[in-house]
Amino acid sequence: MGRDNHIISFPFKGIPTDVSDQGNAQIGLHLRLDRLAFGDTLVVDDLDLTLEPGKITCLLGPSGVGKSSILKILAGFIPLPEKSSLTCSDGEPVTGRISYMDQHDLLLPWASVLDNLVIGARLRGEAPDVGKARDLLHRVGLADRYDARPAALSGGMRQRVALARTLMEGAPIVLMDEPFSALDAITRFRLQDLTAGVLGGKTVLLITHDPLEALRLGHAIYVLSGNPVALSEPLLPEGTIPRDPADDMLKHHYSEIMTRLAASTEEAP
């Protein structure tokens, strides 16, 4: 099987049980990290990140720079460090309003593909929308595998199930860590389009190693670099999402991002 990334967008292992469809509310998120250290290693020192309401923000950077740690702080898996803050634009708590994708395998191995998609509703005590689940499976190319178990699927198929599961949820804030990494180029392109459509109006933070993916999907793109890590100035591509990768503007920005990434690699210890 190929490399797997899997999505948890339902309450499981500590995620609140009140994540449900919350309509078209657009909520911005502001994170200010004073310091983040693991043991004697200082990862982040004075970082300020704003996710604009209803927009897709992309983070790029070399492996180990701290991208996933920032994502887990936003999701609540890593406690917010002292003198740091996490606030929503509407002044309400973030708890229960996030769908989260992790790089670990969080598909339920004993459950069918269809049951994996509707587990969130069942854990919340809601009637599952089986019709929506079947439609999403059709749109990710797995309509004929709804009764299969995860062990019978390839890594790319599992990732498509995981993506469909996160698209089932209605949380206004979506955190995604490499959601298309296990997919072939054509499938990745198609599912980027699907994700952009389904998550339109949601506030999304997307971690990716692919500059072109960020340029297709991101309203704002940041490169993380340095030790401790720092955010670049945001790159703000124009055009309707998902953008055409053949656009000359994207080619120009691609070169700019690669220059930033190359510089960040040179800065790494």
User: What does the pLDDT average to over 38-46?
Assistant: 81
Per the domain annotation, does 59 fall within a domain? Answer: yes
Per the domain annotation, does 129 fall within a domain? Answer: yes
| Per-residue pLDDT reduced to its tens digit, 178-226 | 999 888 999 999 999 999 999 999 999 999 999 999 999 999 999 988 7
Paired tokens of 153: 């699927």
Confidence of residue 264 (pLDDT cuts 50, 70, 90): low
Burial class, 185, CB count within 10 angstroms (exposed 0-12 / middle 13-18 / buried 19+): exposed
Q: What are phi and psi of 59, to 5 degrees?
A: -115, 130
pLDDT value of residue 240: 93
Per the domain annotation, does 1 fall within a domain? Answer: no
Domain that holds residue 146: 6-267
DSSP states along 157-222: HHHHHHHHHHHH---SEEEEESTTTTS-HHHHHHHHHHHHHHTTTSEEEEE-S-HHHHHHH-SEEE
Per the domain annotation, does 26 fall within a domain? Answer: yes
Paired tokens of 233: 């100035």
Per the domain annotation, does 220 fall within a domain? Answer: yes
Q: What is the pTM of this model?
A: 0.86
CATH code at position 32: 3.40.50.300
| Per-residue pLDDT reduced to its tens digit, 6-35 | 443 333 333 333 445 555 679 999 999 988
